[in-house]
A and B are shown apart, each in its own frame.
Chain A
């Protein structure tokens, strides 16, 4: 198992946002994580990436216990992520957003950076090249000199993904990547996500939009912090408990 979550629990005061949650992700899979608003999906991402510290439970990634590690060490282990509200380096250009995100690959020492050594200049040239490549992949190479805050919403979402790719993730966590996108952008993003998976990245995607479920090998459904269903997209779609969670009542979908 590539990512294994065991008995993960997060309490905020009296509220239990994630409760005894178990989940696994195999290498190379795309796993969908769905659930109604407030189900605990984003909290789960924050627990995996170290933004929040779990109350109980374990997160094991690639054979290593990463429970409670700081976000930057989790990123260094190879977990890239996007954010639901998609914060950006708003006053950086698109290119600067991505090149700043190549902080880890390759990494220059402080002295190399400060004294502008050959190693640092070579690293920076390499980062520039890589950044342009990533921007081309997500279709933002034409707007690379725009300030990130001036981009339309769909482009900003793509920039968020580009930034996560700059971490060279082995595991990519996408938090509502296609929310608010127009149909063309959704198609483009889905193709991009598929391409990323084919290049060997494992992906977990949180989404409300059922369209993205077609990409997934497996779907996990969470509600009130509990796992309520798991299986192939088709199975989950026909699951009664899932329908109840989304629509309420006995007789749905």
Chain B
């Protein structure tokens, strides 16, 4: 039931809404600051965290692409793992170069996603979430069963790196990849394709009665979402050069879901904001060790309780509070009132 509510509310923003904060000059300024960051702070730790943020922004925004069609998959971490392991295995065992493995792994992930999406497109809401959850768990066991090929329980090692291991080069690579992916997914969501997906989420009966092919569009959304999460996973494999299932298990999927939920499910910027803030929080709370996830869980509860539209709604929430107060004052000044 809750999954049903989540999926329908994802379409509640007007399809062609241009939000005020998305002011091009502010965005351009942000991009410049981010682009200059390695020159100002060359700490490898900060670069590493930034790279992780870029990787997970691609993953969480691509999860959103699926959720706007009213589907709430619980296997997105597993699809990231499919991309990562495919690229990693091609590099480790076939010696293929990253420029070949990354796009091929992304395409293969999209293909697997669409194949799985085909039977799943008949499921809705909770059943869809459950089905995808089991698929995600199954992927992990397949990796375990892969023995030497996948590295099994021990993990896959010896994946080829890029840029001679230069963190700064990796930083720019992932920055570029995240920018291109986010722009590509933005255009996808705010075109007629995205409108059709949001229409299906709101009423699949009405959508198909006006000629929208529900099954095909749902599979398309899964394909596009899986392509980009596969891209993120494959690039991550060539950055980390070591893979283990713990990065792609059910917890990893849950983190992606949290990024989307806490950031704001109704807004394109939601997953981006959610990813940045949650990764920063979990990094800064490293000292809490096992208690660190509780902090994120606490934040999830607070956000859901106070700002159902997620962290992105915070500025507007504050603004509307202030504005309302001002308005009340004005009314009290009306003569003869």
Contact = CB atoms under 8 A, between A and B. Distances in A.
Interface of A: 49, 51, 70-72, 75-76, 80-81, 83, 87-93, 96, 100-104, 108, 110, 113-114, 116, 120, 124, 147, 163-164, 166-167
A81 B209 contact: yes
8 contacts: A70-B208, A89-B203, A89-B206, A93-B14, A96-B15, A108-B192, A113-B193, A124-B192
Interface string B191-220: 111011011001101111111111100001
Interface of B is mostly: helix
B294 to A, nearest CB: 34
A91 B196 contact: no
A103 B209 contact: no
A116 to B, nearest CB: 7
A91 to B, nearest CB: 4
Contacts of B42: none
A92 B206 CA distance: 13
Given A93-B14, A96-B15, A114-B188, A103 B211 contact: yes
B208 A72 contact: yes
Interface residues of B, number: 29
B68 to A, nearest CB: 11
Given A76-B211, A113-B193, A167-B210, A89 B199 contact: yes
B319 interface: no
Contacts of A83: 205-206, 209
Contact of B14 (A76, A96, A163): A96
B244 to A, nearest CB: 36
B25 to A, nearest CB: 23
Given A75-B209, A81-B209, A87-B205, A100 B199 contact: yes
A103 B188 contact: no
B13 interface: yes
B321 interface: no
Contact of B209 (A49, A90, A96, A120): A49
B195 to A, nearest CB: 5
A164 B209 contact: yes
B211 A75 contact: yes
Contacts of A49: 209
A142 to B, nearest CB: 18
A92 B201 CA distance: 11
Interface string B252-264: 0000000000000
A49 to B, nearest CB: 7
B209 A100 contact: no
Contacts of B14: 91-93, 96, 147
Contacts of B212: 72, 103
A75 B209 CA distance: 6
Given A72-B212, A91-B11, A104-B211, A96 B205 contact: no
A86 to B, nearest CB: 9
Given A91-B202, A96-B15, A113-B193, 13 more contacts: A71-B214, A75-B209, A80-B210, A83-B206, A87-B206, A88-B202, A91-B12, A91-B13, A102-B210, A114-B188, A114-B193, A116-B187, A166-B210
A66 B272 CA distance: 46
A113 B191 contact: yes
Contacts of A167: 209-211
Contact of A100 (B13, B195, B214, B215): B195
Nearest to A102: B210
A49 B210 CA distance: 11
